[in-house]
Amino acid sequence: MSASGGPAVLAEALTKKFGDFTAVDHLDLRIERGQVIGFLGPNGAGKSTTIRMLCGLLLPTSGRASVAGFDVGREPEAVREHIGYMSQKFSLYGDLTVRENLRFFGGIYRVRREDFAERMRFAISMAGLEGRQNALVHTLAGGWKQRLALGCAILHRPPVLFLDEPTSGVEPEARRQFWDLIHDLAAEHVTILVSTHYMDEAEYCNQVALIDRGTLIAMGTPSELRGHRLSGQLYELRCSPLGGALKALRGVTGVVEAAIFGDRLHVVLAENAPAGADIRRLLSEHGIQADLPRRIMPSLEDVFVQLVSRGAEHRVTA
Amino acid sequence: MMATPADTAIRVQGLSKSFGSVRAVASISFDVVRGEIFGLVGPDGAGKTTTMRMLAAVLQSDEGEIIIDGVNVAAEPERVKRRLSYMPQRFGLYDDLTVSENIFFYAELFGVSRTERTTRSETLLNAAGLLSFRRRLAGQLSGGMKQKLGLVCALIHTPKVLLLDEPTTGVDPVSRRDFWAILYDLRESGVTIVLSTAYMDEAERCSRLALLHAGSIRYCDTPARLKEAMPGALLSVSAADPRGVREALAGKPGVLGTLLMGDRVHVRVDDAGNRIPELQALFEQRGIATAPIERAEPGIEDVFVALVGGGSRS
């Protein structure tokens, strides 16, 4: 099977069962080359199982998937040779130097001896680690470590890269530099799958795939998901006390969802909801002072929570 | 925020702590008012956990003073411990005990009476949505449920002050929302909460924030006022080719920073009114197709980068 042309990742009815439990249920997914795609899903949604199958670490029960043109069921070794993986904890060796870590991972990824010097130079310059080749890794700040981990994961030039919450806990500015590197790689047709619980990481992705109960429940650009996926319009409501307001709004016709967010409420209103002034009046009858609701752009988290809880309700009634 | 002494739940003055040659916390001061959710926000290594441990009276400071609910922590650590609850990053749950057994264990530890523990644990389990999981082994709970159980255990003795060190790390967004709903309920009942987080989007949910960097508090205010303090304005430019947009913006006057997102570019400019038409004209002239430029609300990360920057280390 060829490694060029075609989508970077293609899954068709991909299914994984553990005993009676179906972790991944006929998942279809197509990811073109050069995309940065965010994988979101609640714990237990089948996200990690999907990724382990796509990495060639776990065989599917049925269905099929290919990564970089190789079938995960029939050619798992070829899949593993054509992917890079960077975990949250950046599995680096703290008591080895930058250069020694790179050499170690170069060995694991079987980088050819004659290519190694060039690959190492590339990784070091990409990570901005020039002059620090001999520094012990545990002495590096978080941002450096993170870029070194990325350097190690791409030593063998994998066309597909898996990242697991790559920027958690890293300095904001270092974090932004990291995402620039990711987009540089994508511009060179590397496909990057980012698995995360954090919506601000998802905002850096070209496409976001939302997985729940083992299937793909939504996919689109961050803007598409924000724009079209709520069953109503999102409003911000400044009011006090917040808890009382929340209780007063529950059960009002057209109020799809209400949640406290910092010092205000986020309320999703359907078309048949009362007008802003009426909501304010209703709250004041409960002794709650409120501003007029202000329409805001939903965050990816708003969309995520609504889609996933809709699934949960469905599950309870089903 | 002006606070009378009676409103002040926590007062921290000139607090410092070094480990060897590393100054983990460098003379920080802040007040937390009763009923606040106060966030210590910063990346790993900023000093969040060290500060939390000193507040919880499990780590002695080198310098400075902490008063919690009128009690000096250094002078009377045991008296303080009865008034607060501290949930470290890894809360000690017993995997081979059930949910109920874990709660009773902590009730025993905190000296909560038998009658009180039953009613209290019912209320807390209900709020946490864990009532039907009472007999499940803690080791079989999901990450989000474990965090909620940790919170229930930490609240069993009705503390006045709750200290949470990165409570939602690894918790999915749905569980995180549930967790925050519990925190807001606690706040309404008068509990003061101090929480640390490395996640800037989570910081938005606090009533007040301290931005921590290399052991110092760089800014401390409400999320809304921190956003107002950010110099310039944030614009969002959606485009099919965000990289092209960013390249076109390099070195343009009034552009203070650019950030490449998945399907758009965030641009910080000195003055939105003047720059929006200028930039729109620039894109047209270069033949770059974009959606109309919109103003975007800055997030706490934007504020952090603009006010604190990356520091010298990265």
Summarised one tens digit per residue, pLDDT across range B28-72 is 999 999 989 999 999 888 999 999 999 999 999 999 999 999 999
pLDDT band at B272 (very low <50, low <70, confident <90, very high): very high
Who among A180, A198, A259 is closest to B260 (CB)?
A180
Topology (CATH) of A231-297? Alpha-Beta Plaits (3.30.70)
Q: CA-CA distances (angstroms) from residue B81 to A133, B47, B70, B74, B199? A: 47, 21, 13, 11, 28
Q: What are B103-139's pLDDT values in tens digits?
A: 999 999 888 998 999 999 999 998 888 999 999 999 9
What integer pLDDT is reported at residue A20 of this predicted model? Answer: 92
Contacts with A187 from chain B: Cβ below 8 Å: 243
Which A residues 32-91 touch B at CB under 8 Å?
36, 38, 40-44
Omega cis (within 30) before A241: yes
CATH fold of A9-226 reads Rossmann fold (3.40.50)
Overall residue count recorded for chain A in this entry = 318
Query: Which residue spans of chain A are classified as CATH 3.30.70.100?
Result: 231-297
Output the pLDDT for position A4: 57
Give yes or no for B262 touching A (CB within 8 A): yes
Query: In this predicted structure, what is the pLDDT of residue B310?
Result: 54
Per-residue pLDDT of B158-197, as tens digits, reads 899 999 999 988 788 888 888 888 898 888 888 999 999 9
Is pLDDT of B313 > 60?
no
Estimate to the nearest angstrom the gap between the alpha carbon of A302 and the chain centroid: 15
Read out DSSP for A166-190? TTTTS-HHHHHHHHHHHHHHHHTT-
- C-alpha to C-alpha distance for B52 and B162, rounded to whole angstroms: 11
Q: Provide mean pLDDT across the span B209-228.
A: 93
| pLDDT attached to residue A314 | 45
B3 — phi, psi (to 5°)? -130, 135
For chain B, give the mean pLDDT. Answer: 90
Q: How large is the average pLDDT for residues B143-153?
A: 89
What pLDDT does residue A198 have?
Answer: 85
Minimal Cβ distance to A223: which of B184, B238, B260: B238
Give how far B226 is from chain A: nearest CA, Å: 14
B144 touches chain A (CB under 8 A): yes
Residues of chain A with CATH 3.40.50.300: 9-226
Own/partner pairs, B4-8, CB within 8 angstroms, 24+ separation: B7/B33, B7/B34, B8/B32, B8/B33, B8/B34, B8/B67
What pLDDT shows up at residue A316? 35
**pLDDT at site A311:** 61
Spell out the domains of chain B, with CATH numbers in brackets: 5-227 (3.40.50.300), 231-297 (3.30.70.100)
Residue A67, pLDDT score: 97
Question: Would you call B263 and A206 a contact, using CB atoms and an 8 Å cutoff?
Answer: yes
**Model pLDDT, residue B105:** 93
How confident is residue B311, by pLDDT bands cut at 50, 70 and 90?
very low
Average pLDDT across each block of 10 residues of chain A; the chain has 318 residues. List them in order.
Answer: 74 96 95 95 88 94 97 95 83 91 90 90 88 91 87 93 86 87 93 91 92 92 79 86 87 86 84 88 91 86 79 44
The model carries a pTM of 0.85
pLDDT of residue A37: 96
